[in-house]
Amino acid sequence: MSAGPVRVGVIGAGTISETYLRNLTSFPDLDVRMVADLDTDRAAVQAARHGVPAAGTAHELLADPAVELVVNLTIPAAHVDVGLAALEAGKHVWAEKPLALDRPSARKLLDRARELDLRVASAPDTVLGAGLQTARRAIDAGLIGEPRTALALFQSPGPESWHPAPEFLFQSGGGPLLDMGPYYLTALVHLLGSIHRVTATGGRARETRVIGSGPRAGTEFPVTVPTTVTALLEFARGGSAQVVLTFDSALPRTTLEIAGTLGTAVLPDPNRFDGPTLLHPLAGGDPRELAAQGHPASRGTGVLELARAIRSGVPERASGALAYHVLDAMQSIEESIADRRPVVVQSTAEAPPTLPGDWDPYAGSL
């Protein structure tokens, strides 16, 4: 078993890389060695900005024997191809969400990792943040009784107003379901277990959108996926959830609530790592606020947790199996919309254990 910080390479120097690199380079247990991108100038800028010693192409990064773990921040359509190339180069993989665009390619990625005795883990890692970890500990401790139902809402006018290159978010692999759904569904699986069956409907309000910021502002592009999705989820161990995800609302709103036999928990935004939990007792009275307790880290927490799990020889929490189950559920929602029928989700996934309360991303432990 190797020792010392896990050596990391980042592929993809786009918008999301800024937050990842800022955080990954602050964790003592990670050693970020290289940033790669199709646009090597962009990779060089990001590497220089965050003190990473090398930049170049993905091929050059994968050929570096020092890199142990690849953080794959490419667009969703490239997730599997880049992930497979990293595995063939003998490297573990952290994938941005979604894990893949379809079940067969996701299965191919996970099966190849198993054959090579390598690991594939996946965003979202917001469920490992102090906010949702605190909420889960409270629910697991029975503070709202037995969880029975959930309500999940994500309403937004869409990301094209602020994202400089938003087209991929309105094509296969995007839309509110594949873009935002992983945050909500992953949190629900952590809290209520495997999703057994889905019934859904959906559509899109407009056939085209217009980029609202950046050098291409004013550019019109087509929309090819539903921009509003409404789904009923049924869970294997009982209970249900209503989920609404939309890029068609002028009223931005995020909600995640879990109702139990003794009360209701209003959870933090599942696309954030912090935030309080409000417990509303069924018997009445004032709600109780639980401040987030735990580490202060944000995006990249899952990469660090994966790296520590690799060194320790224990399972990682943001596992590929969990990401596959969430993808399977989202694909089932898409099939329910297309076929206008309920769809049984074939896969299952176990909710991982919560992080220890004293888990510290800024303390070197390797």
pLDDT at position 284 is 82
Domains 6-122 and 127-290 share a fold: no
Of the candidates 85, 93, 91, 84, which has an alpha carbon nearest to the alpha carbon of residue 123? 93
* Residue matched to tokens 């959906």: 202
Average pLDDT in the 160-164 region? 93
- pLDDT bin (cut points 50, 70, 90) of residue 39 is very high
Could you give the CA distance from residue 129 to residue 62 in angstroms, rounded to a whole number? Answer: 30
Average pLDDT in the 248-257 region? 97
CATH superfamily name and code, 127-290: Dihydrodipicolinate Reductase; domain 2 (3.30.360.10)
pLDDT at position 1 is 52
What's the predicted TM-score (pTM) here? 0.94
Domain 6-122 belongs in CATH node 3.40.50.720: yes
Average pLDDT in the 95-117 region? 97
* pLDDT per residue as tens digits for the range 306-327: 999 999 999 999 999 999 999 9
CB atoms within 10 A of CB 163: 17
Task: Give the pairing type, strands 208-210 and 220-222.
Answer: antiparallel
Could you give the CA distance from residue 8 to residue 4 in angstroms, rounded to a whole number? Answer: 12
The yes-or-no verdict on residue 107 having pLDDT over 90 is yes
* pLDDT per residue as tens digits for the range 168-201: 999 988 899 999 999 999 999 999 999 999 999 9
The yes-or-no verdict on residue 285 having pLDDT over 90 is no
Average pLDDT in the 109-121 region? 98
Domain-by-domain residue ranges, the chain? 6-122, 127-290
Determine if the peptide bond prior to 222 is cis (ω within 30°): no
pLDDT at position 57 is 98
Could you give the CA distance from residue 24 to residue 21 in angstroms, rounded to a whole number? Answer: 5
pLDDT at position 229 is 98
* pLDDT per residue as tens digits for the range 116-156: 999 999 999 999 999 999 999 999 999 999 999 999 999 99
